[in-house]
Amino acid sequence: MTYLTILIKRDIFTFLGLVRAEMVDADANAKTITAVIKHDPREGEPVMKQFDTGLAAIRSYEEAIDTSISRGWSVVYRGAPLIG
């Protein structure tokens, strides 16, 4: 499961992603995580926040989009990643 939202404000693009993936540690132990990823080029490195439940991650993702829109950002794309 991966969803992404691309937003624009003036000439700046930002990215919000909602992902469920398996993280593998150094001992080859796999753990499923659900996280929200944000990349704002003004802040440098992307930020990833993990959540205990998928519902909490979805809620945070939706709130981040709503907050961005209220701060003047416009949604360019929202949905599943496009391939190709």
Query: What is the tens place of the pLDDT at every residue in 7-62?
Result: 999 999 999 999 998 888 889 999 889 999 999 888 889 999 999 999 999 999 99
- Burial string for 38-76 (b: 16+ CB within 10 Å, else e) reads bebeeeeeeeeeebeeeeebbebbeebbeebeeeebeee
pLDDT computed for residue 84 by the predictor: 57
Residue 84: how many CA atoms within 13 Å on its side-chain side? 0
Q: What is the pTM of this model?
A: 0.84
